[in-house]
Structures are given as structure tokens and as C-alpha cells.
Amino acid sequence: MMRHFSDEEWLVFKEGMVPPDLGQKMENHLVECDRCRERFLMLFGDKEIGAAETLLSEDFTDRVLDALGQEKGLFPKEKKRVSRPNKDSAVYFAVAAAITILLMGSGIFQSLVDIVPQFASRANVQEQWAGEKTGIGWSEKLVDQTADWMQNFEMQGRGGSSFD
């Protein structure tokens, strides 16, 4: 059965105050035990995390992954770029919001709302005119005329006249 270490023991280990042989055992235990690893990591505060961040370069993670991948053959040798959100996205958002407010305040959006129906009605009139000029719509006329002819034919067949 695996021996778990207490929070006090992990605190002493964190401070580097354990003998080297016990320190090696504890280090090996951290590799194997998720529960103890989580408890150990909870001992680190914001101040310590901030201090560690200043010591590490921005490409630290990439370099470690590359070294592990090359050593164990886990990752291809070509470097993959990790996409990170743009630091200036808040600035872009603020500029876009300011432009939107400016356009709304100047009435440009309202004028677009007023102009669009006018363009739509013009397009409809032009479409009708083009249809008359080019003969588009002839199939509808043919269907209407055929329906009229059939109706007249039926009426004549029943003894009726189409000229009533």
C-alpha cells in the first residue's frame, strides 16, 4: 500500500528542509499520486506563483514539450505554434464599439433603414420592366391562356357558349 504524506510533510518538502533520501521518495510519490500532487500544489500561493512566472521565459512550455517529445519521440520535431488570444482584442472591441456608437449617433444607420425600402421598390419596378422587355413571364401568360381556352372548351362541350 502506498504511503501518503501529510500537508505538514509537504510543506517541509516545499521549503527544502527534508533529507535528500526522503526528498527523493516524496518527489517520486508526487509523480505517481494525483491526490498528493494536488495537495502539494495547493500549498503554493499567488505570491509564489507570480515569482515563478517572472523566472520563466514565455517559451518555457514550448521548450519543455519539445525536449520531452524529442527524448521520448512523442511529438514531431517541427514546432507547432500555439494560438493565443490577441492581447489587443480589448482595444479592437473598444474601437469597434466607439465607431458603432458614432454611426448610430450621426443617424447613418437610420438613413440606411429609410433608404433600403426605396431601393427594394426600385429593383421590383426594374425587374417588372425587364421582364416585359425580354419576354420573361411568357410561361405564366401561356398557362393563363391555356386555362382560359380549356375552360371555354369545356363550356362549349356542355352546350354553353364562351361568349355569354
pLDDT digits (tens, 9 = 90+) for 10-62: 889 888 899 999 999 999 998 889 899 888 888 888 888 787 778 778 888 88
Write down the domain spans for the chain.
Answer: 89-157
Return the pLDDT at 159.
Answer: 56
pLDDT at 164 over 60: no
Mean pLDDT of the region 145-154:
82
Pairwise CA distance, residues 138 & 106, whole Å: 47
Return the pLDDT at 19.
Answer: 92
Pairwise CA distance, residues 39 & 156, whole Å: 99
DSSP-derived letter for residue 21 is H
- Closest of 121, 118, 99, 117 to residue 108, by C-alpha: 99
pLDDT digits (tens, 9 = 90+) for 110-142: 776 777 677 666 666 656 655 555 555 667 777
